[in-house]
Amino acid sequence: MGLPELSGLNLHSKWPAGPLNLITDVPGVKVGQVTLKDPVQDINTGVTVVLPHEGNIFRDKVMAGASIINGFGKSIGLIQLKELGTIETPIVMTNTLSIGTAFTSLTKYMLKQNPDIGVKTGTVNCLVTECNDGRLNDIRGLHIEEKHIIEAIVDAGTKFAEGAVGAGTGMCCLGLKGGIGSASRIIKADGKKYTVGALVMSNFGGAGNLVIGGKHYDTKEAGKDQGSIIILIATDLPLSERQLNRVSKRATIALARTGSYCGNGSGDIAIAFTTANRVPHYSKRKILEYKMFDDDSIDLVFESTVEAVEEAVISSLWHADSITGIRGKQAMGLQDFLKGSINEDDK
């Protein structure tokens, strides 16, 4: 976790990282995870949940935007997010065939927290995202249960593990072991410090395409650019939903920097939200006032976002251990791969 561990990989960093170098450096943001691993049953899967703030998210929504970079995916809740520009539930990450279970569990959680849903007001737009971990996990076994989503929400805090944990347990990325990765950047605006944080579930890219700090790494195996990545970007900067859509699009640049060309079979989705602009579910006022960033100055937000997302992707690889999954499929962690590369260079 953090720049010191990754410094040897020559990642460019113009902006300093936050104290944890995690998405939770954005005040109020929390992350919880449940990891399911059973080598006998070939289980390598899990759940990762991001809470945009510590309060009632349904009653106090956060402004948000999203970019469907390549839409080969089965996520739930993106249509309303794009239409209204808000997030009103925790954000769940899991495997592709478990989104129904996650949706049901998250819905029950929201109903329990908000007795007015479906009675005095409308329904709730639960946000569930996914990647396919079937290369390493018995995805047909449907091992994610409703209780695991609740456990992840209850577990949420500011410190969390990266790599082959939570929803990233069974993910593969760029020919290596993928998973959960995170990073943050601190920027200044009008004399005040703000944070841009990123969290990814990396499962994209063809083997042999890995690029770190501008250097290409040959993973000895050619392959299509396929799979998926879910990218979450959080900030305490006052941005409008239009600006958050623009920020989410910049995640594409980070993917390109790490070796992706967003292939035909890749589900690449970026979601950005701000904790600074809250939208009340109930309001006595018809006109609400919000702050936004000056568009002529927003390049520093774009640049810091690209840095954070790029490092989050590399961090997901760096912290992932090598594993053997279902049908004997192996995925090597980045650290083990680099040791092998160094040994080959020494011959």
pLDDT at 302 over 70: yes
pTM: 0.95
Cα 43 to chain centroid distance, Å, stands at 22
Residue 12, pLDDT score: 76
Radius of gyration of the chain measured on its C-alpha atoms: 19
Give phi and psi for 192, each to the nearest 5: -125, 145
pLDDT at 337 over 50: yes
Map tokens 């990754």 to a residue: 6
Q: Are strands 86-87 and 30-38 parallel, antiparallel or unpaired?
A: unpaired
Residue 84 within any structural domain of the chain: yes
pLDDT at 346 over 70: no
State the amino acid at position 187 in one-letter form. I
pLDDT at 343 over 60: no
Task: Count up the domains in the chain and report the number.
Answer: 1
Residue 2, pLDDT score: 46
Range of the domain at 264: 3-281+291-337
Tokens of 28: 């109020």
Residue 343 within any structural domain of the chain: no
Residue 341, pLDDT score: 63
Alpha carbon distance 45, 245 (integer Å): 30
Residue 344 within any structural domain of the chain: no
**Distant-in-sequence, close-in-space partners of 105: CB < 8 Å, separation ≥ 6:** 146, 147, 148, 149, 150
Residue 58 within any structural domain of the chain: yes
Which one is catalytic: 98, 105, 228, 316?
Answer: 228
Which one is catalytic: 268, 304, 315, 316?
Answer: 268
Average pLDDT, the chain: 93
Residue 109 within any structural domain of the chain: yes
Residue 13, pLDDT score: 87
Q: What SS3 state is found at 108?
A: helix
Provide the CB-side half-sphere exposure for 190 (13 A, CA).
7
Residue 222, pLDDT score: 45
Alpha carbon distance 178, 285 (integer Å): 47
Give 347's pLDDT tier (boundaries 50, 70, 90).
Answer: very low
Q: Are strands 211-212 and 176-177 parallel, antiparallel or unpaired?
A: unpaired
Residue 130, pLDDT score: 98
- Residue 311 in contact with residue 6, Cβ under 8 Å? yes
Count CB-CB contacts under 10 A for residue 321.
Answer: 15
Residue 340, pLDDT score: 80
Is 228 among the residues known to form the active site? yes
Residue 176, pLDDT score: 94
- Residue 225 in contact with residue 204, Cβ under 8 Å? yes
Which one is catalytic: 75, 240, 266, 316?
Answer: 266
The pLDDT tens digits of the residues spanning 207-264 come to 778 999 999 988 765 455 568 999 999 999 999 999 999 999 999 999 999 999 888 8
Residue 86 within any structural domain of the chain: yes
Residue 342 within any structural domain of the chain: no
Alpha carbon distance 123, 34 (integer Å): 27
- In order, the DSSP letters of 261-312 are ---TTEEEEEEEEEEEEEEESS-S-SS-------GGGTHHHHHHHHHHHHHH
Question: What average pLDDT does range 23-27 have in this prediction?
Answer: 98
The pLDDT tens digits of the residues spanning 115-166 come to 999 999 999 999 999 999 999 999 999 999 999 999 999 999 999 999 999 9
pLDDT greater at residue 53 or residue 10: 53
Residue 345, pLDDT score: 47
Give phi and psi for 163, each to the nearest 5: 95, -140
CATH number of the domain where residue 139 is located: 3.60.70.12
Is 184 among the residues known to form the active site? no
- Residue 145 in contact with residue 176, Cβ under 8 Å? no
